[in-house]
Amino acid sequence: MSQEFDFPTYLMHHVSNSQEWKLPFLPAIHLPEPLSLHGVMLFICCGILFLVFCVLYKKDDRVPSGLTNFLEMIVLFVRDNVAIPNLGKEDGLKFTPFLCTLFFFILTLNLMGLIPLFSTATSNFSVTAALALVTFSFMVFGAIKKNGLKGFCKGLAPSGVPGFVLPLIVIIEILGLFIKPFALTVRLFANLLAGHIAIIAILGIITMFGAAAMPLLSVVLFIYGLEIMVAFIQSYIFTLLSAIFIGQMYHPEH
């Protein structure tokens, strides 16, 4: 570290991906090349999801309770309020596993970011882009598989539009096809990143000004609470918008 404390650099470093996992009182763990801090978070998230759904979730309960009940509520919500209304009954049921995985994967990554020692993989542009690309591939290849190439192209050129506007519409539709996943990417990553930057920035004020700035801790706690809400809301929005975008491509007539 240099003599003067360069806070913006420290802040950016805090929210960025790196090759090191810093633990308190222990030497930082240096991660080998294909892995990085956020990559490790992804696999820890997989472990948590496996633990929660394959070990803790009691599938044999006739009347579920506790954690099983809570998770079941979310699964039912994804099925009945996200998948089926946007994709129709048949496709909705087919897409429920994918949307459930998407929701819980993002939610777990978001919440992990709020636990000390862990880092937020969803505040990494590449991670959210990768997830949005999965949605995008369903929007394009899934739709082509379902409606055929002709049906897919027809979906981009809606009927009932006067001829001279048609080229414009087609351009807008094609642009929209790419903007939608891009919006998904930026929304999730920016929301998660912003929350963390806000928290570390205010904590930075406290470290700079000392005890006088201690009341700001309440603001940090408030933002932390907000972050928990954002973690749920953003994973819900990502899932819902994925369902809506895929639904639009699957059923272009609507």
Partner 1 sequence: MTKTNETIEIDPHGEHHGKAHIGFLQPEGMMTLLTWISFFLIFSVLYKFAWKPILAALANREDYIKKSLDDADKIKEEMESLQEKTQKMLEQAQAESKEIVDKARKAAVQAASVINAKARDDAQILVDNARREIQTEVEKAQSNLREESAQIAVELAGKILEENLDPEKNRKLINHYIKEL
- Which residues in this chain contact partner 1 in the complex, by CB under 8 A? 2, 6, 8-10, 12-13, 15-19, 34-36, 38-39, 42-43, 45-46, 49-50, 53-54, 57, 59, 62, 72, 75-76, 79, 93, 96-98, 100-101, 104-105, 121, 124-127, 129-131, 133-134, 193
**Measured from the CB atom, is 86 or 135 closer to partner 1?**
135
Which among 97, 172, 98, 94 is positioned nearest to 137, based on CA atoms?
98
Nearest distance from C-beta of residue 125 to partner 1, angstroms: 6
13/145 with CB nearer partner 1 = 13
In DSSP terms, 29 is beta-bridged to 21
Rounded least distance, CB 34 to partner 1, Å: 6
Query: Is the Cβ of residue 129 or residue 156 nearer to partner 1 in the bound state?
Result: 129
Rounded distance between C-alpha atoms, residue 165 and residue 117, angstroms: 55
Report the nearest approach of partner 1 to the CB of residue 53 (Å).
4
197, 147 Cβ separation under 8 angstroms: no
Shortest Å distance, C-beta 182 to partner 1: 12
- Min. distance of Cβ 9 from partner 1 in angstroms? 6
User: Residue 35 CB, nearest distance to partner 1 (Å)?
Assistant: 7
CB closer to partner 1, 112 vs 155: 112
At 165, which amino acid appears? V
Which H/E stretch holds residue 29?
A: strand 29-30
- Nearest to partner 1 of 57, 219 (CB atom): 57
Q: Which of 67, 43, 42, 63 is nearest to 54 (CA)?
A: 67
Closer to partner 1 by Cβ: residue 19 or 147? 19
